[in-house]
Chain A
Amino acid sequence: MNIEILLFKEIVIFPELFLGISIIYLVLHSTFLAIQKKYPLIQSSVLYLSILVLIFASFLVYNEHLNSVEMSCLNNTYVSDYISFISKIVIGSLSVFCLLMMHSYILTQQINNFEYFLLFLFSVLGLFLLCSSNDLLTAYLAIELQSLSFYVLAAFKKNSTFSVDAGIKYFILGAFASSMFLFGSSLLYGLTGSVSFDDFQVLFVNTFPGQPVSNIAFYEVLEESFHDTCYSVCVTYPDLIWLFSTEIGTIFSIFDCQYDVRETYVNFNYLENSIGLDSILNSSFDVSLIKFALIFILIALFFKLTIAPFHIWAPDVYEGSPSSSTFFFSVVPKLAIFVLLIRIFYFSFYGFVDSWRHFIILTVIFSVIIGSFGGLNQRKLKTLLVYSTISHMGYSLIAFSAGTFESLQMLFSYLIVYSFSGLCIWSIFMSTQLKNTYTQKQNKDLTDLVLLGKSNYMLAIFFTTVLFSVAGFPPMIGFLVKMGVFLTAMEASMYFVALVSILCSVVGTFYYIRLIKILYFEKVLVGKLYYPINSQCSVLITLLFFLFLFLFCNPTLLFLVSQKLSLLIFF
């Protein structure tokens, strides 16, 4: 194999290769710059260099023409399809925006280490790899790369006890979640002998939902009259034979057994049957261990997504870590983890949809209730946004649990709108820096934004619009996607979940509106003073605001992209 063929074959991974190599180059570059006698402050230059690297990486992702529906390389462990394409572009642009917005904050907080930005780059590399990982091993390594850099980002301000505390909490719970993920994957590997999502799909996508009969009885029936059954099935339903043989393969979790069955089916020469088709359709194998493993994986990913019973760490960690890190945690990584969830549960284990749906619906109700009621008596803006995140993750899980094409479409449009509105809120949070005596204290109470409507009129209008959109008020894009989520829940006959989450959404609107009240109608004489926003930040915030207006005027763009994505997942 000469070098050109190799390059052409593996070109799919080019953005990640570029990102990884430029991270190493940046490490060398900034180490040689920083380790001089006088320790020059190079954080601005490293910030802009890493933004440049991210823009180039996103451009390389965009440049990758998807001529085929799906292209996998490196022994089918890395797949490049439309879902990874779109989510990588969204993640790349989100992280570029994040890094641009946090510049002034970092200057005031005096985070002088260049490594801070390299950690962001590492986590973006992990998220890119997570979006297109096609087996459990790659997914685990990508999650580790991403979350290891997040732990350090949370603990980065060493002189603040809160930050170190947040880092340790995040590390312990994240390591716990990773070990759960590993346990679930090792169970799956033990049951099937493979970690590839494609193999799982071949094995499990056609499983019957139904009551499991005991394996031994099923096996005895099989041995007695197996060939007859196979023949009749084969004559009447040619498709079903593959499905049936798949099941037998999974009962004993050995691939050989599966192939044996198929060979006997080829070689048979019996005629009439002794057990009918009905008994096959009604019988199915015992999948409880697979369900067990899947629930472990689900819990691990829910820890990363801050879904409600697994959310306890989130308010402390998000409040304690530096605001620029919190900005990144709450906006960027959710989309990639949802991509992994879709790859596992829609692509590979779609046959188990009835098994995992109950569990997800339970967590949905938990997280919607906790997200709406927990935020009611919060006085810190960051904690409030964490509870808002929890409830939004609950809404997107509603769409995830419905299990139809429309639900996937709604899930993606909801996640994209959620990420961009979170980006806008956090940008406004970062750019209103209070003029107080302690310049390093920038964890805002709600009252720190009092009378922003008087002191910075346009910023308050932008903030209000985005808050209305997040709360789901009718003309905004947030309303459209939230309504779409509830509609998909109704179409999947999940009326109770839809009812509970609509009611909780009404409750959750309270704290968004309270923020608007604080912005405009508070009866105080003197508002707060802020440092002026530099032109770069203001241009970006205005751009984000116009993006919202554009999506409101023309939501078809979002819906078309997400529909194409949802239609292409199953292929």
Chain B
Amino acid sequence: MIINSLFYIFSSLLLISSVFVITSQNAIFSVLFLVLSFLSASCLLFLLKCEFLSLVFILIYVGAIAILFLFVVMMLDLKNNSKKDSLKYLPFGFIIGTVFLTEILLIVKETFKTNPYKTNDVLYNFYTNWYDKIDSFTEIQTLGQVIYTQYVLQFLIAGNVLLLATLAAVVLTLNHTKDNYKTQVIFKQLSRNNKNVLLI
């Protein structure tokens, strides 16, 4: 019961935040809503007991890609705040949206079957979730047991690859020479406020 209610909470959060990603005027707000939608999607995955996948989702999408978006949005000095364009693409988007929605509905209709027994039938109660009855490891436990025993060599090589990537990124970006630095001008940065930045 709790799981069902949690599912409804997170899925509605996902829907609302993804609507706000599109409609929000401020680009930073939309990136933050994107992060929120990623988080709620990974919570949904948690409820489906895909712990590893959801954690990877948070690590990669929130930790790397969304932050990258945030940096890009902050770097680009966007000041375009016209509201006319939002309605211009509405019919086009509406058509595409309806097409995908009908596809999804068709697939749902094809693949998911309802319980053939009536609700007040005796046989209705025969449904058992066998997965709950099995005493099983979680996904992360299983992966950890395999990674640190069977695939220890591969794990070490992957660690070396990561070390190499870090080293390479530092080498390629660190600039010891003073002449062509790109630094921020402190005065310019401090004089910014919410009136003159980042409105689309």
Contact = CB atoms under 8 A, between A and B. Distances in A.
Contact of A141 (B158, B168, B171, B172): B158
Contact of B168 (A74, A125, A144, A148): A148
Given A141-B158, A145-B164, A113 B171 contact: yes
A1 to B, nearest CB: 12
B160 interface: yes
A142 B160 CA distance: 10
Nearest to B171: A115
Nearest to A155: B172
A156 B170 CA distance: 12
B165 to A, nearest CB: 7
Contacts of A145: 157, 160-161, 164
Contact of A138 (B154, B165, B170): B154
B157 A142 contact: yes
Nearest to A118: B167
B85 to A, nearest CB: 34
Interface in B150-200: 150-154, 156-158, 160-161, 163-165, 167-168, 170-172, 175-176
Nearest to B166: A27
A20 interface: yes
Contacts of A460: none
Q: Which of B156, B158, B164, B165 has the most CB of A within 10 A?
A: B164
A486 to B, nearest CB: 39
A438 interface: no
A75 B155 CA distance: 13
A118 B160 CA distance: 12
A23 B152 CA distance: 19
A372 B168 CA distance: 36
Interface string B129-169: 00000000000000000000011111011101101110110
Nearest to A144: B161
A141 B161 contact: yes
A149 B157 CA distance: 13
Interface string A162-191: 000000000000000000000000000000
A152 B153 contact: no
Contacts of B160: 20, 23, 122, 125, 145
Nearest to A141: B157
B162 to A, nearest CB: 10
Please indicate which of the listed interface residues B152, B160, B163 has the most CB atoms of chain A within 10 Å of its own CB: B160
Given A74-B153, A138-B154, A152 B161 contact: no
Residue of B150, B152, B157, B163 contacting most chain A CB atoms (<10 Å): B157
A24 B161 CA distance: 12
Contact of A158 (B150, B164, B165, B172): B172
A137 B152 CA distance: 12
Interface string A108-146: 000001010011001001000100000001100110110
B172 A77 contact: no
Contacts of A420: none
A148 B161 contact: yes
A531 interface: no
Contacts of B175: 158
Interface string A77-117: 11000000000000000000000000000000000010100
22 contacts: A13-B153, A20-B156, A23-B160, A74-B152, A75-B150, A77-B151, A78-B153, A115-B170, A115-B171, A118-B167, A119-B167, A125-B160, A137-B154, A138-B157, A141-B161, A144-B161, A145-B160, A148-B161, A149-B164, A149-B168, A155-B172, A158-B175
Interface of B: 150-154, 156-158, 160-161, 163-165, 167-168, 170-172, 175-176
Interface of A: 13, 20, 23-24, 27, 39, 74-75, 77-78, 113, 115, 118-119, 122, 125, 129, 137-138, 141-142, 144-145, 148-149, 151-152, 155-156, 158
Interface pairs A-B: 4 shortest CB-CB: A152-B168, A141-B157, A115-B171, A74-B153
Given A113-B171, A145-B164, A158-B172, 18 more contacts: A13-B153, A20-B160, A74-B152, A77-B153, A78-B153, A115-B168, A119-B168, A129-B157, A141-B154, A141-B157, A142-B157, A145-B157, A145-B161, A148-B165, A152-B168, A152-B171, A155-B172, A158-B175
